Amino acid sequence: MGEEATMSTGLNSSSEIKHSENNSLDKELDRIRLRRTDKNKRFPKTFDDVVLIFGLVAGIVFFGGVTLLSSGMLAGDSIILDETLSKTPLDTGGECVDNLGAVSFSIFIENHDDVTVRSKNVLLDKFSVLVVKITNYTDSEPYYEYYETDIGNVDFSFELEEDVYDGHYLLSAQIFQSLDDNELDVTNKSTFEDASSELQRNGDEKIVDLEVSGHSLEISDPEPRDCFTMTEFGYWGWALMAAEWAGGRETAMLTGGSAGVPAWWMASISLGMSIFFLCVQYPLMHRMYHRDIDDILTKKQLFRLIERTLIKSEGDLRISINFDELKMQERAISIDIIIPYITTNKTIGEATDIRARLTKDLLEEFSIFGEMRPLQIKSICLDGKNNTSNNEFILSSDLSLIVSERSPLSEDYSIFFSGLGANGKLEEEIIHVLDKWFRKHNLLDYGSAIIVDEESVLIRVIYTPMMKFSYFLYRKSFIDMQDDLNDFLLMNLEDLLGDRELIVSARNEKASLSDRAVAGRVELGANQDDLVGEAMVAKQAGLTGVLLQNPFMGDILSSVEYVAHSNRSRIDKYGFWGLIVFVWIPFMASGVLVGAMLGLVARMRFRRVLLACLVGGSAASITWAYTARGIIEFMEKYHAQTFIPFLILLAFVFTFLHLRRNKRRRREELFRESMAFFAGSSNSI
């Protein structure tokens, strides 16, 4: 007897301690919730809001300026910008020349052994003859002469004859145009001389040095380059942006450097992109991920938040959760939860609906508390009642259509039968109202069930939108439709319902779990890698959610998060200067956005992260812009210019493979440990 009393006292004491601890955690959580929900709506309010506005303005100026340049609307043919800056230290390529309106030629090597000659600024409506000669330094008679004809400018490529020995030659090009609009038959020297009376030379002759060495060719042009027009700067602006977006800063700089684009313009384009993306996306990322030190949940607080959210959920779902077996695994990149439950006599949801609702409620709380790690849950029905097909209507087996006690034979049965009639009338009216609701929203009834008793009305509908591509185009969540159905039923059945409790469940048959859970971002395991799972991130409302949680940006953001977590140890060790070096040094996928995310992960102050990324990004853009041409000239010096396109392609491929590898490694890390946690825990429940 004494042992039993001692045991009872111990249990009561343990329960009181747990209750007291939960009360303390609840107060802390309520304070955090109040701080995060009681926000001033004034905008701009903080420094990151000002940075966001600056980024948007900078983006409008930058992209709008490049658009104006490429359209030719802003001094399209003017070369004053390039001509002026080519005389300053900003342009390491030397002073350019003004060939605007004058006939000029571009002569270069393509595909290792092809010589390409292109004319510019000839009369576009006249018949043109391009004459190319290869002459020895000491001889006046050319070894070879080539003739190519076209209307307007001529673009001509040829391969040297096999009997051209190693040595130094002169290559000249000049253009002739007809006196009228007639085309002439000019194929060689004799026919050219026959037609020369009808031709006149347009512009000066262009002469360059041609060096033949084995199977390699090299052209040296002693004349300065042609100045770029404003329109050409615009075209190259878009080309450099596309190259940097696809293959990184290195690819863009090598591409522009090989085409002779001035280093200051390449640096300007790269800097413009860095400033725009950093000043727009970093404030949004900061708003999504940042939490003050007092708002960061401890492991106990997080578990209690999950626990009390599920207490509310079990009441809404009419299920009973076994909180003694509730388990949580917290990791840097995800939160995994196992939720065991049993159904009650008023449970009307299937297993997938219950899991979706539990996920939705947890994600809504995570959003309020700023918890943006992916959530994975495994809900386990302990009574086996939900292990059914998707179309089966789930109810506890002890609930009949009409719940009543059978009266003694001597009593009057009029009340009993009048109850049957009233319930039957209510059920018929519900069917009629549901039919109106389906027609109102243009939905197909995929399977509905109604159960009416003296205490409650349970209604379950499964609908399908009657529209093409509804899986992609239908945007209303099941919560929206469920609330709408509940209001519609109350409005039309208020008199018939009386004191009965209305319990409604709605599900879109074509919607995925992520749709039903109303997640902001979803990541799926890859079946080919034996990874199974669905990780969901809390949804962010407003501009932040629109810009960062669409499928395209969400995929990029998840990779950025992973790279940031992988490199956090470096920043924890070296701090501000380490972040500058990380953004500056050309590691693949180490740009300003990854640096910004890394600063968030390392909990550095907003202004220090912004400054570090601006300094590092600017240094990277300038370094690459002013070394790209040197790399190319070094390769040309050692006759390796053939590898320049290969080097550009290699940089692009390496960046692509690096990003793909990061994505695969993140997926494996995200799902494999979760699968092990769920598998191990399910065996013990």
Buried b (16+ CB within 10 A) or exposed e, 302-336: bbbbbbebbeebbeebbbbbeeeebbbbeeebbbb
How many Cβ atoms from other residues are within 10 Å of residue 653's Cβ? 12
* Tokens, residue 381: 């029905």
Fold of 99-223: Immunoglobulin-like (2.60.40)
Q: What is the pLDDT of residue 414?
A: 42
Q: What is the pLDDT of residue 248?
A: 74
Spatial CB neighbours of 296, under 8 Å, sequence gap ≥ 6:
none
Dihedral angle of Cα 350, 352, 353, 357, to the nearest 10 degrees: 140
pLDDT of 284 above 70: yes
Contact 464, 509 (CB under 8 A): yes
Average pLDDT over residues 269-273: 91
pTM (predicted TM-score):
0.56
Contact 356, 314 (CB under 8 A): no
- Of 14-23, 191-200, 321-330, least confident by mean pLDDT is 14-23
How many Cβ atoms from other residues are within 10 Å of residue 268's Cβ? 21
- Residues 323-339: tens digit of each pLDDT: 988 999 998 888 999 99
- Residues 375-418: tens digit of each pLDDT: 998 888 887 544 443 333 333 333 333 233 333 333 443 444 34
Tokens 């008199």 identify what position?
Answer: 495
DSSP characters for 426-494? HHHHHHHHHHHHHHHTTEEEEEEEEEE-SSEEEEEEEEEESSTTHHHH----HHHHHHHHHHHHHHHHH
Q: What is the pLDDT of residue 55?
A: 92
Contact 648, 258 (CB under 8 A): yes
Per-residue pLDDT band for 302 (boundaries 50, 70, 90) equals very high
Q: What is the pLDDT of residue 388?
A: 40
Q: What is the pLDDT of residue 195?
A: 84
Whole-number average pLDDT of the chain: 78
- Residues 238-247: tens digit of each pLDDT: 988 988 887 7
Strand 375-381 with 335-343, pairing: parallel
Q: Cα separation of 150 and 275, whole Å?
A: 45
Q: Strand, helix or coil at 572?
A: helix
pLDDT of 18 above 50: yes
Average pLDDT over residues 291-316: 88
Q: What is the pLDDT of residue 14?
A: 66
Contact 593, 277 (CB under 8 A): yes
Contact 127, 182 (CB under 8 A): yes
Share of the chain above pLDDT 90, in %: 10
Spatial CB neighbours of 133, under 8 Å, sequence gap ≥ 6:
142, 144, 145, 146, 171, 172, 173
Q: In 3D, which of 507, 531, 550, 558 has the Cα closest to residue 678?
A: 531
Which one has a higher pLDDT value, 480 or 385?
480
pLDDT of 141 above 90: no
Average pLDDT over residues 554-569: 72
Contact 272, 252 (CB under 8 A): no
CATH, range 414-508: 3.30.300
Q: What is the pLDDT of residue 196?
A: 83
Domains of the chain, residue spans: 1-38, 45-97+227-290+550-641, 99-223, 414-508
Q: Cα separation of 528 and 533, whole Å?
A: 13
Q: What is the pLDDT of residue 415?
A: 41
- Of 4-18, 246-260, 459-473, least confident by mean pLDDT is 4-18
Q: In 3D, which of 253, 226, 258, 95 has the Cα closest to residue 633?
A: 258
Q: Cα separation of 482 and 14, whole Å?
A: 41
Highest mean pLDDT pick, 292-296, 349-353, 676-680? 676-680
